[in-house]
């Protein structure tokens, strides 16, 4: 099994006619993802990559039965696209777009969650259940179907750890890039229960970074509620206070936001933390 997506998932693409949207739609289709259409306001009735285009997410869902929308629209149009999804019966929105203003995300997040729609992102690489479904921009060829779940704030570190898992023959059940902005739709603590309940996930890797308290909250949840082994990696050990590092949310605002403080909380909860990426596999196998 996997979590959130599988080979039965029907996907629509918001921004399918744009440069990034069309490129990554083609990549998803080549991987085997069941892309059933796209959304570009004003271009309804046209086709691209042999997929129908609709003017709204609501129309696309009604016509195709789509479960998930993935969004590649520019940041200035992101709030409108997210609110469009909130006005539909879609089950999950994966927002790849980066640079979305925080207040726009807050407004859209409230609208989506009020409807019971899960948000992944924004500013994330998406998610993949190897051999079943790829939604977003993750490179497909490094993934291997297996038993390790992965949740990461960093896209690039996700790829590096996935390559280690694949080379070791462990493989992945589902990999999720949750994004590194100050406000994101789904956090570690929102996704860990799904991996705990998935019979085909045997262990989990979480990848954190400086800024915020999500990793500390996750450590408490893992300690109190998870039976499956969890291994962590924390980026930003040498990051200076007050400087944004990579993501808008990756900034040390206080002593508890540092990598060292988070590593201490994770280890206090009994979660092994890899000092370098190459240690992750050994910690899982040990």
- Catalytic site positions: 247
Here the tokens at position 103 are 């207040």
C-alpha distance from residue 158 to each of 234, 235, 244 (Å): 12, 11, 20
Q: Which residues of 130-157 are buried (b: 16+ CB within 10 A; e: fewer)?
A: bbbbbbbbbeeebbbebebbbbbbbbeb
| Interatomic CA distance for residues 147 and 24, integer angstroms | 26
How many CB atoms are located within 10 Å of the residue 74 CB?
14
Q: Which residue, among 55, 44, 104, has the nearest Cα to 80 in the 3D structure?
A: 104
Q: What is the dihedral of CA 124, 129, 130, 134, to 10 degrees?
A: -50
Q: What is the DSSP letter of 225?
A: H
CA 136 to chain centroid, in Å, comes to 9
| Interatomic CA distance for residues 76 and 40, integer angstroms | 15
| Interatomic CA distance for residues 208 and 193, integer angstroms | 17
């Amino acid at each position: 099994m996997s979590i959130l997506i599988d080979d039965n998932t029907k996907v629509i693409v918001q921004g399918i006619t744009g440069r990034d949207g069309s490129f990554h739609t083609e990549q998803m289709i080549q991987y085997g993802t069941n892309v059933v259409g796209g959304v570009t306001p004003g271009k309804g009735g046209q086709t691209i990559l042999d997929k129908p285009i609709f003017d709204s997410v609501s129309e696309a869902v009604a016509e195709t039965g789509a479960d998930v929308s993935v969004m590649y629209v520019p940041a200035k149009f992101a709030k409108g696209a997210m609110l469009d999804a909130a006005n539909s019966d879609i089950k999950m929105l994966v927002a790849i777009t980066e640079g979305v203003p925080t207040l726009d995300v807050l407004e859209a997040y409230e609208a989506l969650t009020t409807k019971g729609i899960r948000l992944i992102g924004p500013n994330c690489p998406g998610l993949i259940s190897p051999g079943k479904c790829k939604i977003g921009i993750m490179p497909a060829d490094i993934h291997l179907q297996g038993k390790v779940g992965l949740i990461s704030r960093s896209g690039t570190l996700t790829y590096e750890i996935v390559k280690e898992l694949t080379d070791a023959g462990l493989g992945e059940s589902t990999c999720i890039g949750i994004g590194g902005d100050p406000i994101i739709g789904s956090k570690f603590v929102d996704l860990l229960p799904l991996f705990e309940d998935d019979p085909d996930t045997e262990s989990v890797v979480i990848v954190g970074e400086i800024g915020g308290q999500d990793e500390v909250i996750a450590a408490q949840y893992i300690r109190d509620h998870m039976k499956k082994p969890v291994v962590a990696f924390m980026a930003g050990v040498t990051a200076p206070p007050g400087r944004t590092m990579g993501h808008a949310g990756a900034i040390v605002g206080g002593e508890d936001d540092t990598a060292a403080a988070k590593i201490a909380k994770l280890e206090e909860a009994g979660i092994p933390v890899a000092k370098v990426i190459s240690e992750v596999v050994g910690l899982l196998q040990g």
